[in-house]
Structure formats: C-alpha cells, structure tokens
Amino acid sequence: MAATKRTRTPSGLTPQLRAAFDTLLLTWRLREARGEVVVPIPEKSPTWALDCEERFGDGHYASRKDSLGTTLALLDKEGKTDFAAVVAALQWARDVEVVVTMRGRSLVRARTLEMERDRVHRHLSKWLPRALQLCKGSRTSIFVNAGLGKDPALVRHLEALLAALQPGTCNLLTLEWLPPGHTGRRSRRGAPEKPWMAELDRRLARAGVPLESRKALLKATGFLPYSDH
C-alpha cells in the first residue's frame, strides 16, 4: 500500500497573527542588545513599545511596515503559507538573536577583563619581588619608615593579590552558556556568525514561504539590513 503524502494545511492570516507580525517590526530590542541604545524602564502604556521604536529603532519602521503588509497580502492571496508557523519561526529567531547578541557582548567584556588581568599579573609578578627586595636591602626599611612595622600587612595583601590574579585562578571568562565544543571565538574575522539564520530560512521554507518572499520578510522584520532606496 502506497504511503499517503502529507500536505501542509495553511493557516490564514487572522487578525491575531497580523498583530503578531506587527510586533516583529520592532527593532529597538535588538539594538538595545547590541548596546547601540539605552532603552528606559518599561512604562505602563499601550504605546510604549511603539514609542521606543520611534526613538530607538532603525528609522525605517513605516517603510518596513508597508513592505511587510505587501508581502503578507501576496502570501495570503497565494494561499500556500502557514502563517502561524511563520510567526513562530520569526519569533524564535528574534529571541535567539537577542540572547546570543547580549551574551556576545558579555563575552567581549570578559575577554577584555581577562587580558587586563594577565597584563597586571605579568607586571606585578615582575615588580613586586623587586620592591620587596629593595625594602629588605635598605638600611632602614621603607615599610618601617612608613609606620607599617616589620611584617607589614601591605606586603601580605600584595602577595595575596598576586596569587589571586594568577591565570587559571581568577576565572573572568565564563563559557557555560556556549554549545559543547564551542570556544566562543569567531571562526574567521569580520561580522559575527549567525547560524540561526540558516535554520530560520528552513523553517520559513517549510511554512510555504517562497525565496523572494522570505527575503522580503527578513528585511521587513529587521533580520536583514533595510534600505528605502
């Protein structure tokens, strides 16, 4: 008996789904994750999100909204698209992009701190013993003259600091959130990789969105750069 071929049942563009698409027009959330803007604490206002887009978005909201409306109308007319699956795919990718972008910024800050830690430890491990030797070799201890006594607490604190800054002891770079085997470093120079985009493209294709419409959707919702020209 021949296997029955499964067919996708398109979901129509309901008002609820259209409203969900409109929320995907907001780009300020991603720009905030990148550190490009500082968004104030949310207010109890129904227009707060749109107000943030006007102040902190990419500046193309109206044009992208028109483009999104045109693309959705075309897909709805063709009647082959599962709009619920499209919304789910775009929302998934947006959440992933925001989280990964924020973690990437944290990773950069951690690397910067780690490099500074290594630099400080390198210089401190070289100059602290010389400073102590200088004090011990003086006829009158510099520390005694400073009123720190024969066994100054300052020395103990500096030695403790040197030990704490030892590479491998002070772990400033946490990679627990990264996938197994991932170092957190780019495989090549240039813009950060976005592996979720390939999965998003596959999900949109399975939802019945043709290639050109996929590109239009990604531009309208801010996943790809948008230009009014």
Under 8 Å between Cβ of 173 and 104: no
Average pLDDT of the residues in 85-103: 90
Residue of 155, 175, 151, 153 whose CA lies nearest to 163: 155
Question: Residue 136: its pLDDT value, please?
Answer: 66
Any idea which of 39-43, 63-67, 120-124, 151-155 has the lowest mean pLDDT?
151-155
Question: Which band of pLDDT confidence, cut at 50, 70 and 90, is reported for residue 7?
Answer: very low
Report how far residue 210's alpha carbon sits from residue 75's, in angstroms, rounded to the nearest whole number.
9
Report how far residue 172's alpha carbon sits from residue 184's, in angstroms, rounded to the nearest whole number.
14
Question: How many secondary structure helices (H) and strands (E) does the chain include?
Answer: 9, 0
Residue found by looking up tokens 């709805």 in the block: 76
Above pLDDT 90, what percent of the chain? Answer: 37
Residue 116 reports pLDDT greater than 70 = yes
Higher pLDDT, 136 or 191: 136
If you ran DSSP here, which 8-state letter would residue 35 be given? T
Under 8 Å between Cβ of 17 and 81: no
Higher pLDDT, 188 or 110: 110
One-letter amino acid of 61: Y
Report how far residue 52's alpha carbon sits from residue 40's, in angstroms, rounded to the nearest whole number.
9
Residue 5 reports pLDDT greater than 50 = no
Under 8 Å between Cβ of 99 and 31: no
Higher pLDDT, 76 or 186: 76
Question: Residue 104: its pLDDT value, please?
Answer: 72
Question: Residue 177: its pLDDT value, please?
Answer: 42
Under 8 Å between Cβ of 39 and 112: no
What's the predicted TM-score (pTM) here? 0.64
Instruction: Tell me what the pLDDT averaged over the chain comes to.
Output: 79
Residue of 76, 119, 90 whose CA lies nearest to 24: 90
Report how far residue 37's alpha carbon sits from residue 30's, in angstroms, rounded to the nearest whole number.
9
Average pLDDT of the residues in 29-54: 87
Question: Residue 54: its pLDDT value, please?
Answer: 92
Report how far residue 5's alpha carbon sits from residue 210's, in angstroms, rounded to the nearest whole number.
21
Average pLDDT of the residues in 200-210: 95
If you ran DSSP here, which 8-state letter would residue 105 be given? H
Residue of 53, 25, 49, 22 whose CA lies nearest to 37: 53
H helical segments located in 79-195: 83-137, 142-145, 153-164
One-letter amino acid of 31: R
Phi, psi of 212 (to 5 degrees): -65, -35
Average pLDDT of the residues in 40-45: 81
Angle (nearest 5°) at CA 201 between 55 and 98: 35
Any idea which of 63-67, 121-125, 156-160, 168-172 has the lowest mean pLDDT?
168-172
Q: Which residues contact 30 (CB under 8 A, 6 or more apart)?
A: 94, 97, 98, 101, 222
